[in-house]
Amino acid sequence: MFRDFPLFPEAASSIAGDVDRLYWFLIAITGSATLLVMILVATFAVKYRRTPQNEVPVHEPENKYLEYAWIIIPFIAFMAIYVWGAAVFFKINRPPDDALDVWVTGKRWMWKFQHVTGQSEINELHVPLGRPIRLTMASEDVIHSFYAPAMRVKKDVLPHRYTTVWFTPTKVGRFHLFCTEYCGTEHSKMIGSVVVLQPAEYQAWLAGGPTSSPVEEGEKLFTTFACNTCHMGEGLQQRGPVLDDLFGKPVRLRNGQTVLADENYLRESILNPQAKIVAGYDPIMPAFLGQVDEQQLIYLLTYIKSLSGEPADAGDGASASGPASGDVVPQTAPTGTQQTPSNAPAGPQAGTASPNQSR
């Protein structure tokens, strides 16, 4: 009977053991403290109950050893929880360099998954066994929360920015996922599955996908929006920073600050280019909020990442790492040329015809 109602969901990822052990440690600490307090309350209630013999209280001398124990033991327990919890937190938030990238879009009331090889899914995520999976997530409307209990991963999915989470599946099968942030009347229907396949089965599943990849679609959008006229030109034609080898590198802004060119920076530079203006360029790029939807953003960002040597992962062991490392001087305006600069590292430019893409 108890097999039909397990205390915990099945553990199906490499991080699940770390999360479960920390959870059981917290249960042991809090349970022990609760039991101790209950025993002491019952003992003292009987021992020091009011009787005719103790109407007048007797002064008890202070017990320094009890004070020391009450300070030192909880301190050790709390520090153990802090150090252990921090270690698990950093492990969950640092995906391996060879992680397989998947874009996730939360929308009332569904999950959409976009693979870098071109496949897209609704409420189902197919992944290979034993391969780290990195999810880059954003919402099209309100706050959602991605939760896959068997993988022991949970992360808020926010509008206007990206959040990431990763896991390495260790068991083949179909595992439940759902939204844990109330997002409207049909919140309970925002469910789906993580389908873990053997590597050979995953390759067969990939073979039935589309022929065009997000990189190719992003390149088409990059040309359609005329981004190449400012970010790919030379001399008078280069009115914006060159995008080659930009992703994952520091970018110097006009206000003297330096930011990392990650997914959130590139997204903001397309939708709201006035927020962070690159040093050496003027704020002439228009905002494209409302003209570029989440799917088009995924295509554009995947293409821009590919310009920095970020390959489209086919799921066969090729690297699809996160931001590259290295201390590289950010793109600045070319010297010795007359130009009308731009401010953002990506996106359509002023003075060019832009199709009115609506959500």
What is the Cα 258 distance to its own chain's centre? 22
Is 207 in the same domain as 217?
A: no
Over residues 281-306, the mean pLDDT reads 85
Q: Who has greater pLDDT, 244 or 185? A: 185
222-225-228-229 Cα dihedral, nearest 10 degrees: 180
Angle at 322 between CA 319 and CA 348, to 5 degrees: 110
Instruction: Give the pLDDT band of residue 62 (cuts 50, 70, 90).
Output: confident
Number of domains comprising the chain: 2
Reply yes or no on whether the pLDDT at 236 is more than 70.
Answer: no
109-149 per-position pLDDT tens digit: 999 999 988 899 999 999 999 999 999 999 999 999 999 99
192-235 per-position pLDDT tens digit: 999 999 999 999 998 877 767 888 888 888 888 888 777 775 65
Over residues 31-57, the mean pLDDT reads 88
Is 73 in the same domain as 102?
A: yes
308-356 per-position pLDDT tens digit: 876 555 444 433 333 333 333 333 333 333 333 344 444 433 333 333 3
Is 199 in the same domain as 217?
A: no
Distance CA 210, CA 102 (A): 16
- Determine, yes or no, domain membership for 295: yes
Q: Which of 179, 194, 211 is the last residue of a domain?
A: 211
Is 195 in the same domain as 221?
A: no
Give the domain CATH number at 337: 1.10.760.10
And the tokens for 274? 């006035």
Give the domain CATH number at 40: 2.60.40.420
Reply yes or no on whether the pLDDT at 185 is more than 50.
Answer: yes
**Most trustworthy range by pLDDT among 89-98, 201-210, 289-298:** 89-98
Is 223 in the same domain as 201?
A: no
Is 224 in the same domain as 203?
A: no
- Determine, yes or no, domain membership for 249: yes
Q: Who has greater pLDDT, 193 or 48? A: 193
pLDDT of residue 235: 53
Is 205 in the same domain as 234?
A: no
Is 238 in the same domain as 294?
A: yes
Distance CA 318, CA 312 (A): 8
Is 175 in the same domain as 248?
A: no
pLDDT of residue 211: 66
pLDDT of residue 325: 33
pLDDT of residue 38: 96
Distance CA 194, CA 121 (A): 11
- Determine, yes or no, domain membership for 108: yes
- Determine, yes or no, domain membership for 155: yes
pLDDT of residue 155: 95
Is 232 in the same domain as 169?
A: no
pLDDT of residue 184: 93
329-331-336-338 Cα dihedral, nearest 10 degrees: -160
Q: What pTM did the predictor assign? A: 0.75
- Asked if residue 167 lies in contact with residue 152, where contact means CB atoms within 8 angstroms, the answer is yes
The average confidence (pLDDT) of the chain is: 82
- Asked if residue 252 lies in contact with residue 277, where contact means CB atoms within 8 angstroms, the answer is no
Instruction: Give the pLDDT band of residue 238 (cuts 50, 70, 90).
Output: low
- Determine, yes or no, domain membership for 3: no
Q: Which of 211, 231, 260 is the last residue of a domain?
A: 211
Is 241 in the same domain as 310?
A: yes
Q: Which of 148, 178, 211 is the last residue of a domain?
A: 211
Instruction: Give the pLDDT band of residue 36 (cuts 50, 70, 90).
Output: very high
pLDDT of residue 313: 57
- Asked if residue 303 lies in contact with residue 310, where contact means CB atoms within 8 angstroms, the answer is no
Residue type, 255: N
Instruction: Give the pLDDT band of residue 165 (cuts 50, 70, 90).
Output: very high
Instruction: Give the pLDDT band of residue 72 (cuts 50, 70, 90).
Output: very high
- Determine, yes or no, domain membership for 2: no
- Asked if residue 147 lies in contact with residue 153, where contact means CB atoms within 8 angstroms, the answer is yes
Is 124 in the same domain as 249?
A: no
CA 269 to each of CA 98, 180, 338: distance values in angstroms, whole numbers, following the listed order: 27, 30, 24
Q: Which domain holds residue 133?
A: 9-48+58-211
